[in-house]
Amino acid sequence: MSESPVTAPVCYRHPSKETYVRCTRCDRPICPDCMNAASVGHQCPECVAEGRRTQRSARTAFGGSLAGRAGVATRTLIGINVAVMIFSVITGGMGAVGGGGWGGLLGQSTPLTDWGSVIGYATYGPGQTELHGIAAGEWYRLVTAMFLHFGVLHLLLNMYALWILGRELEAVLGRLRFVGLYLLAGLGGNVAAYVLGAPIQSTAGASTAVFGLMSAIFVILKRLNLSVAPILPVIVINVIFSFAVANISWQGHIGGLVVGAVVAVILAYAPSKNRNLIQGVGCALVLVALLTLTVMRTAALLG
Residue 243 CB burial class (10 angstroms; 0-12, 13-18, ≥19): exposed
27 in helix, strand or coil? Answer: coil
* CA distances to 62, 87, 230, 255, 278 from 269, in Å: 8, 40, 21, 21, 10
Contact 167, 239 (CB under 8 A): no
Q: Which of 207, 215, 242, 249 is catalytic?
A: 207
Q: If we measure between CA atoms, which residue out of 297, 191, 299 comes closest to residue 251?
A: 191
Contact 95, 151 (CB under 8 A): no
Instruction: Provide the residue type at 166 as one letter.
Output: G
Distance of alpha carbon 36 from the chain centroid: 37
Identify the H or E element spanning 20: none
Contact 224, 231 (CB under 8 A): no
12 in helix, strand or coil? Answer: coil
Annotation says 253 is catalytic: yes
Rounded Cα gap, residues 254 and 10, in angstroms: 70
Task: Tell me the angle at which helices 207-223 and 232-244 cross, rounded to the nearest 10 degrees.
Answer: 150
Residues 2-22 as b or e (16 or more Cβ within 10 Å = b):
eeeeeeeeebbeeeeeebebb
In the chain, what is the straight-line distance between the N-terminal and C-terminal CA atoms, in Å? 109
Rounded Cα gap, residues 128 and 131, in angstroms: 8
Catalytic amino acids?
207, 253
